[in-house]
Amino acid sequence: MDFETIIYEKRDGVATITLNRPERMNAFNDTMVSEWAAALEDARVDRDVRVVIVTGAGRGFCAGADLRAGSGVAEVAASTDTTVSAADRRNWLRDGVQAVPRAVALLDKPYIGAINGAAVGAGMDMASQCDIRIASEHARFGMSYARVGLVPGDGGCWYLPRIVGLPKALELIWTADVIDAQEALRIGYVSKVVPADRLMEETMALARRLADGPAVAIQLAKRLVYRGLDSTLLESLEQAAHAMAIVQSTEDAREGPRAFAENRPPRFSSR
């Protein structure tokens, strides 16, 4: 599979998506959006892939939409032409950049963000879609929509309150303040801050640890957590009962207790 704007690699159970427009701080155009969504779908259906990492090339993670003329995005997103209807704008967002969060929503596998630099506007929305974020010391985050009179359009209003809580999410959205990596760690937006030259090493270590784990259990646990955010306790318990019935039938569920009894590390087969 050939890509123009991303680098997509798979190795040892880990798929890595690198946004590759460093000259634009990895601001996305229509091509990047379609390639990003395609890579996520490929990782979803590839049974050998058990964890997905997303990061950026160069100094930035993602500067949001590329509003430069000719990017594809600019023709609708930045247009002030009154002949562009509200329906056209809605459909551009829904059928365009929202392809990425829609693909993420279908991904049961762990999705880890290695946030190497600025993640602003829609770039912060994209970072917020990750299950876990590990940040470089150089990372910066900003919900910059309000500065240009817009609202978060790529899932930020859904993800951010679930990560940092409602009051902090509203503060970040309303003020459009940019926060550094240490503040992001303090409010719980990122899990860890590491030196820039160790970002991928640290992220890959976590990814490989998860990739070596019981894949079915990890994927079902992820789904239970996200469904639980919108479920009652009784609904969540019922979903957990169904998930437990599935995992108990796997070879990994037999290998775990066997390895414990034999006092050795488990060798999970993801079956």
For residues 211 and 200, give the distance between their C-alpha atoms in angstroms, rounded to a whole number: 16
**pLDDT confidence tier of residue 83, bands split at 50, 70 and 90:** low
For residues 128 and 122, give the distance between their C-alpha atoms in angstroms, rounded to a whole number: 10
% of the chain with per-residue pLDDT over 70: 94
For residues 251 and 255, give the distance between their C-alpha atoms in angstroms, rounded to a whole number: 6
pLDDT tens across 182-191, in order? Answer: 999 999 999 9
Count CB-CB contacts under 10 A for residue 52. Answer: 26
**pLDDT confidence tier of residue 23, bands split at 50, 70 and 90:** very high
Is 22 within 8 Å of 63 (Cβ atoms)? no
pLDDT of residue 7: 98
Judge whether residue 93 has pLDDT over 90: no
For residues 176 and 170, give the distance between their C-alpha atoms in angstroms, rounded to a whole number: 10
Structure pTM? 0.91
pLDDT tens across 250-260, in order? Answer: 999 898 889 88
Cα torsion through 93, 121, 105, 14, rounded to 10: 130
pLDDT of residue 82: 61
**pLDDT confidence tier of residue 92, bands split at 50, 70 and 90:** confident
Instruction: Please write down the HEC assignment for all residues of the chain.
Output: CCCCCEEEEEECCEEEEEECCHHHCCCECHHHHHHHHHHHHHHHHCCCCCEEEEEECCCEEECCECCCCCCCCHHHHCCCCCCCCHHHHHHHHHHCCCHHHHHHHCCCCCEEEEECCEEECHHHHHHHCCCEEEEECCCEEECHHHHHCCCCCCCHHHHHHHHHCHHHHHHHHHHCCEEEHHHHHHCCCCCEEECHHHHHHHHHHHHHHHHCCCHHHHHHHHHHHHHHCCCCHHHHHHHHHHHHHHHCCCHHHHHHHHHHHCCCCCCCCCC
Domains and CATH numbers, the chain: 6-211 (3.90.226.10), 215-261 (1.10.12)
Judge whether residue 76 has pLDDT over 70: no
% of the chain with per-residue pLDDT over 90: 80
pLDDT tens across 103-148, in order? Answer: 999 999 999 999 999 999 999 999 999 999 999 999 999 999 999 8
Judge whether residue 16 has pLDDT over 80: yes
Judge whether residue 173 has pLDDT over 70: yes
